[in-house]
């Protein structure tokens, strides 16, 4: 892709679109078939991305939606960042996008036990933004958690505890607490008994969207 100008010149075009992206995800998720308690992440993410693309609301917004987008010019040398869902405004740069990294939470295993996956959500999700694998040129990114047993409050508490445990590595001020987001302070995303908890990471802050 041809990249014109400094990325700084395009960032201000992306930030005002973030509330629209959050609203689009919130409105689209309930239209999907509830996933199984052990559903694979890629299956859910592909279904969500397909629904987002076909949404009438998305067609009116000035960005494209890409599944498993790879930014070649990643900030981490020799490590391409494969982004689950990327919302890309119509600008001539591939490094200007809102990344939505997806992870499963509270997954039922074959033995019937629930695997929380809180550590994976933080260390293999949020940390990828901090390390520069995703969104190195922009101000914000999103984490989407598929809470497969419907116990969203428990999942949030588990992730919050893990965030606090790793707040220094996450470059957050102590004590590293999640806070309500001004974008959707009272919203909860759900479909039947399956919930989605969305966490918004603004480097040095972590706001909760759920």
Give the model confidence (pLDDT) of 76-100 as tens digits: 555 556 889 999 887 767 788 888 8
| Res. 210: pLDDT tops 50 | no
Q: Write down the residue that tokens 């600008």 correspond to.
A: 91
Instruction: Give the pLDDT score at 73.
Output: 59
Residue 3 domain flag: no
- pTM for this one? 0.81
Residue 74 domain flag: yes
Instruction: Give the pLDDT score at 134.
Output: 77
Separation CA 100–CA 31 (nearest Å): 19
Domain total in the chain: 1
Residues pairing with 198 in the sheet: 144, 209
Contacts with 40 (C-beta within 8 Å, 6 or more apart), sequence order:
none
Q: Which of 148, 153, 55, 142 lies closest to 102, judged by CA?
A: 142
Residue 1 domain flag: no
Instruction: Give the pLDDT score at 113.
Output: 95
Instruction: Give the pLDDT score at 42.
Output: 95
Cα distances from 40 to residues 61, 138, 175, 186, in angstroms, run: 29, 29, 33, 29
Separation CA 11–CA 186 (nearest Å): 27
Higher pLDDT, 98 or 113: 113
Residue 198 domain flag: yes
Higher pLDDT, 145 or 209: 145
Separation CA 48–CA 32 (nearest Å): 7
Tell me the per-residue pLDDT of 154-202, one tens digit each, with 9 for 90 and over: 888 898 899 889 888 887 778 888 776 666 554 444 333 344 444 444 4
Range of the domain at 59: 8-209
Please provide residue 2's backbone torsions phi and psi, each rounded to the nearest 5 degrees: -75, 130
Instruction: Give the pLDDT score at 127.
Output: 84
Higher pLDDT, 31 or 80: 31
Higher pLDDT, 11 or 146: 146
Name the average pLDDT for the chain.
Answer: 77
Query: What DSSP designation does 6 have?
Result: -
């Amino acid at each position: 892709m041809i990249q014109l100008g400094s990325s700084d010149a395009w960032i201000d075009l992306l930030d005002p679109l973030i509330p629209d992206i959050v609203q689009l995800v919130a409105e689209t998720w309930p239209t999907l078939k509830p996933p199984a308690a052990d559903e694979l992440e890629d299956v859910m993410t592909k279904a969500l991305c397909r629904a987002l693309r076909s949404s009438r609301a998305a067609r009116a917004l000035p960005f494209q939606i890409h599944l498993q987008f790879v930014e070649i010019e990643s900030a981490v040398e020799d490590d391409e960042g494969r982004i689950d869902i990327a919302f890309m405004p119509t600008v001539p740069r591939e490094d200007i996008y809102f990344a939505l990294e997806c992870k499963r939470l509270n997954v039922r295993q074959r033995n019937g036990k629930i695997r929380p996956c809180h550590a994976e959500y933080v260390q293999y999700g949020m940390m990828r933004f901090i390390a520069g694998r995703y969104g190195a040129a922009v101000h914000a990114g999103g984490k989407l958690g598929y809470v497969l047993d419907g116990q969203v409050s428990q999942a949030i508490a588990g992730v919050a505890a893990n965030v606090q445990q790793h707040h220094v590595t996450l470059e957050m001020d102590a004590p590293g607490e999640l806070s309500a987001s001004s974008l959707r302070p009272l919203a909860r995303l759900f479909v039947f008994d399956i919930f989605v908890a969305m966490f918004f990471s603004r480097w040095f802050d972590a706001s909760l969207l759920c």
